[in-house]
């Protein structure tokens, strides 16, 4: 038993050491404002971090931004998990670090997570969720042409996308381990829409929406709760 415990502790130590080096080699801390412990011990933050470091490996002029609180016309905010600005457009990512079987249709308000213990959980359609993010973004940065935006719904490798139906060509619902292949193909087959100066200008405008303080975050959570309970 003692030997097993030693191997377990050694394995955990090695895991955290590797993740620590990955974290320090990444710009995620700067983009998100999250420290190492707040990243690895929070399921949502960790999922976003894993997507972030994959996007960092892409070539070309780009900005990757995290946890943006975009103001909406009604005075509320919408939270964008991750966003990448590049010459081929604005890539908007919704991270779902879920396990189990995932069932969903783009046209349905709710999707379903089915766990091995037969427990089923409903969650709001992430395609609709990201569509709301893109709508707020387009108004905020004043780029209203739909073809500038690409919606990526990223699920954990721990889940199985059992039955997913998507009709919109600009929407991708994939697992995290498929992200690089999919987005490289997307970039390679897409025309250039933004020049370097435009990318820099959009980044500067969105920078004001990053690293929100606790008051903004609490207000946003309360706004979401009220909306869901209507």
Residues contacting 181, CB < 8 A, separation 6+? none
Residue 202: how many other CB atoms lie within 10 Å: 21
**187: pLDDT strictly greater than 70:** yes
Q: Which of 7-11, 184-188, 208-212 has the lowest mean pLDDT?
A: 7-11
Question: Helices 126-141 & 196-207, crossing angle to 10 degrees?
Answer: 100
Q: Which residue has the tokens 């209507």?
A: 230
The model's pTM: 0.88
Of the ranges 4-8, 28-32, 212-216, the best mean pLDDT one: 28-32
What's the distance, Cα to Cα, between the start and end of the chain in Å? 53
**217: pLDDT strictly greater than 90:** no
Contact 29, 35 (CB under 8 A): yes
- Model pLDDT for residues 131-151, shown as the tens digit of each residue: 999 999 999 999 999 999 999
Largest pairwise CA distance in the chain? 62
- Model pLDDT for residues 53-90, shown as the tens digit of each residue: 999 999 999 999 999 999 998 889 999 999 999 999 99
Q: State the Cα–Cα distance between residues 19 and 211, nearest whole angstrom.
A: 22
**In the prediction, which pLDDT does 57 show?**
96
**In the prediction, which pLDDT does 139 show?**
96
Which residues does residue 225 pair with via DSSP β-bridges, in sequence order? none
Strand pairing of 62-71 and 77-86? Answer: antiparallel
Q: State the Cα–Cα distance between residues 230 and 214, nearest whole angstrom.
A: 25
Instruction: State mean pLDDT over 170-199.
Output: 97
Going from N- to C-terminal start, the domains of the chain cover: 60-228
Strand pairing of 100-105 and 110-114? Answer: antiparallel
**In the prediction, which pLDDT does 212 show?**
65
**In the prediction, which pLDDT does 1 show?**
56
The DSSP secondary structure of the chain, one letter per residue, reads -HHHHHHHHHHHHHHHHHHHHHHHHSSHHHHH---HHHHHT-HHHHHHHHHHHHHHTS-SSEEEEEEEEEE-TTS-EEEEEEEEEETTEEEEEEEE---EEEEEETTSSEEEEE-TTS-EEEEE-HHHHHHHHHHHHHHHHT---GGGEEEEEEE-TTEEEEEEE---TTEEEEEGGGHHHHHHHHHHTS-----HHHHHHHHHHHHTTSS--HHHHHHHHHHHHHHHT-
């Amino acid at each position: 038993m003692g030997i097993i415990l030693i191997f377990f502790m050694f394995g955990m130590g090695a895991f955290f050491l590797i993740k620590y080096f990955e974290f320090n080699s990444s710009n995620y801390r700067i983009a998100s404002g999250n420290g190492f412990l707040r990243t690895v011990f929070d399921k949502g933050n960790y999922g976003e971090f894993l997507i972030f470091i994959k996007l960092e490996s892409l070539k070309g002029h780009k900005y990757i931004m995290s946890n943006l609180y975009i103001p909406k016309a009604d005075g509320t905010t919408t939270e964008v998990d991750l966003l990448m600005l590049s010459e081929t457009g604005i890539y908007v990512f919704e991270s779902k670090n879920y396990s189990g079987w995932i069932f969903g249709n783009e046209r349905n308000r709710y999707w379903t997570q089915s766990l091995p213990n037969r427990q089923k959980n409903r969650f709001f359609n992430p395609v609709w969720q990201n569509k709301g993010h893109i709508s707020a973004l387009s108004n905020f940065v004043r780029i209203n042409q739909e073809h500038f935006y690409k919606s990526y719904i990223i699920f954990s490798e721990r889940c199985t996308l059992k039955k997913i139906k998507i009709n919109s060509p600009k929407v991708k619902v994939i697992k995290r381990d498929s992200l690089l292949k999919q987005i490289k193909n997307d970039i390679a087959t897409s025309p250039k829409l933004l020049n370097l100066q435009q990318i820099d200008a959009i980044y500067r405008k969105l920078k004001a929406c990053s690293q929100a303080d606790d008051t903004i975050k609490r207000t946003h959570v309360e706004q979401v709760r009220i909306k869901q309970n209507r």
